[in-house]
Amino acid sequence: MDKKGQIIELLMQITDPVVLEFFDIESDEMLDEKIEILQRCVNGENIMEIGLHILEKMPQDGIWDM
């Protein structure tokens, strides 16, 4: 399976609304890192603690204005 396929499979297991809102599925940047961080999220780790930088659609000033 290619890296994009791995990412799609991992995203289907994610329930965190922050990840689902701000993850850019179209981006080809940081694929290995995204796979690693998404796997950690699937295993119960919090995206806020391990890898907000993979959320490329997130505004530069964060999500706190939402």
pLDDT value of position 64: 57
Instruction: Give the number of other Cβ atoms within 10 Å of residue 66's Cβ.
Output: 7
Q: Give the C-alpha separation, 66 to 48, whole Å.
A: 16
Give the residue ranges of DSSP H helices in the chain. 3-11, 17-22, 31-42, 47-50
Q: Tokens for 29? A: 């940047």
The DSSP element (H or E) to which 13 belongs, if any, is none
pTM of the model: 0.85
pLDDT value of position 66: 47
Tens digit of each residue's pLDDT, the chain (66 residues): 899 999 999 999 999 999 999 999 999 999 999 999 999 999 999 998 998 889 999 887 765 554
pLDDT value of position 1: 87
What's the alpha-carbon Rg for the chain, to the nearest Å?
A: 11
